[in-house]
Amino acid sequence: MWRVSTFLLCLIAAPMARAHPHVFVDVTLTLETDAEGRVDAIEVTWLYDPLFTMLVLSDRGLDTDADLSLTDEEKTVLLGFDLQDWPEGFDGALFATHEGRAVELGPAKALSVGMQDGALVTRHRRPVEAVEIGAGDTLRLQPYDPYYYAALSLVGMDGLPDGCAAQIMPPDKEAADARVAEMGNSDDEMFFEEAKVGVHFAYTAEVTCAGS
């Protein structure tokens, strides 16, 4: 989805299209737990930037009265638009580890789409293999696009189990830029396809719990 809109952006603003990222997203993660207090799903909220919002609505002929609100019919049309046509190997821009072990996330299910402060906001849910965060354990969450077409900023963590806390750490952008330069930074889109630099610009949330 982001790549399709990147193509549209290229047509509108060719000089900008040479820079990465193309899309900007504020992310909120909400943990869901089972009866035993184990994390078994993550709800993901994506709040898009106004330019991307304009491109999506224009491309689909929506919000023709430009009042920056969506009718119920338009919401039905848009629901899940950003979960379609994920390229092979794309993991949904969310990565999780528990005590250094990768946590498997299931396929995304669209929950809602709407407008917030003049921008598109969507919610989807990812099931998780049940994770029990014991005393001294760390559940590590990183929302990012490996190809860095989209820059994801983690702005909130909700739904923490009782006795748990989350620390959100932004990326060291200067260090990330330096690392990308070492890798041979290029205006060529194929560089970002192959180098997968997004991880260097990732926000990280570390969830720890006091335990029973």
Taking CA atoms, 180 is separated from 20, 52, 176, 199, in Å, by 11, 25, 6, 11
Three-state DSSP state, 101: strand
Q: What is the pLDDT of residues 158-186, one digit of tens each?
A: 999 989 999 999 999 999 888 888 776 66
Three-state DSSP state, 168: strand
pLDDT higher than 70, residue 191: no
According to DSSP, residue 149 is labeled: S
Give the pairing of strands 204-209 and 164-169: antiparallel
pLDDT of res. 11: 40
pLDDT higher than 60, residue 12: no
Cα gap 47→53, rounded to integer Å: 9
Would you call 106 exposed, middle or buried from its count of C-beta atoms within 10 A (0-12, 13-18, 19+)? middle
Q: What is the mean pLDDT of residues 107-121?
A: 95
What's the predicted TM-score (pTM) here?
Answer: 0.87
Structure tokens at 112: 């809602």
105 forms bridges with which residues in the sheet?
A: 128
